Copies of this chain bind each other. A is one copy, B any other.
Amino acid sequence: MVKAAYQGERGAFSEAAARKLLGDAADPVPHRTFDEMFDSVAVGRMDCLIAPIENTLAGSVLKNYDLLETHRLTIIGETSLGIAHNLIAPRGVKFSQVKRVYSHPVALAQCERFLRANPQIDVAQAYDTAGSVKMIIENGRSDEAAIAGKFAAEVYGAEVLAEGVEDHHENYTRFLLVSQPSRAASIHVTTESADMKTTIVFRVANGPGALFRALAAFALRDIDLSKIESRPIEGRPWEYSFYLDILGDTADSAIQKALAHLEELAESVRVLGCYRRAEPLASNNHANSTTKGKMEA
């Protein structure tokens, strides 16, 4: 079994991502914070970790970019999940009985239309989507529900009263699988795509055209980039580290030349991982999208 650290309660989207990436070998272990999950892998208590890195509505998970830079770990896989929100209640509860709903503020914000259309339901914030399902099951009341992924309903034996209650269905989260470099070869990652992706972080000296010249190393070789992110450098106000997702393999000679070219220009360059990339759009949670918004009350 592969011990995979993730942040959140049982039934979190990150746990579903761990099972998708590691298959039957997955032994997902909940952690309280992103810091704790990175520490667990750094000290060897866990084999790997699952970090949400980007959501198509909320954007980058900035904290996890910082943790990738501060720890000497490597990215070994990637997947994306469709984030469908559902109204979930204890078994036997009917939609018309629900008077209060709990969820994480980000999930509640993504379901505004549904909540406005159901003003008889009070809205209450909770620290976690899956955690709010756990709580309403423990409370066992017939007037409480939670908003979370379908997977959380399965984990806690709860019932889905309404599916796909989110405003925007184009809601996906991308997750990275991260391990110690020495453990990478022993972890079998479910193949997503035959194509590779390389993630790097670099710093360039401030000045006109600095980022432009850094990107030239890739553009002049027709190498495609799928993402750029910048994060502040501690102690150097208004200066940034740049993270790039490069579509390609560090074994390709064009990528090797581009990285050598970037090293000439940059203060520092580090490869954070080279891994099989996720299928362009994994929409497993959206499989039965025709039933979206359907009430089962």
Contacts and interface: CB of A to CB of B under 8 A. Distances in A.
Within the oligomer, what is the number of copies of this chain? 2
B223 A208 contact: yes
Given A209-B222, A213-B219, A219-B209, A56 B170 contact: no
Contacts of A223: 208
A228 B60 CA distance: 14
A216 interface: yes
A284 to B, nearest CB: 14
B59 A231 contact: yes
Nearest to A222: B208
A116 to B, nearest CB: 15
Contacts of A62: 58-60, 62
A227 B239 CA distance: 9
A59 to B, nearest CB: 5
B208 A224 contact: yes
A126 to B, nearest CB: 15
A234 B109 CA distance: 14
Contacts of A55: 232
Contact of A170 (B170, B211, B225, B237): B237
Interface of A: 54-60, 62, 168, 170, 172, 174, 207-209, 211-213, 215-216, 218-219, 222-232, 234-238, 240, 281
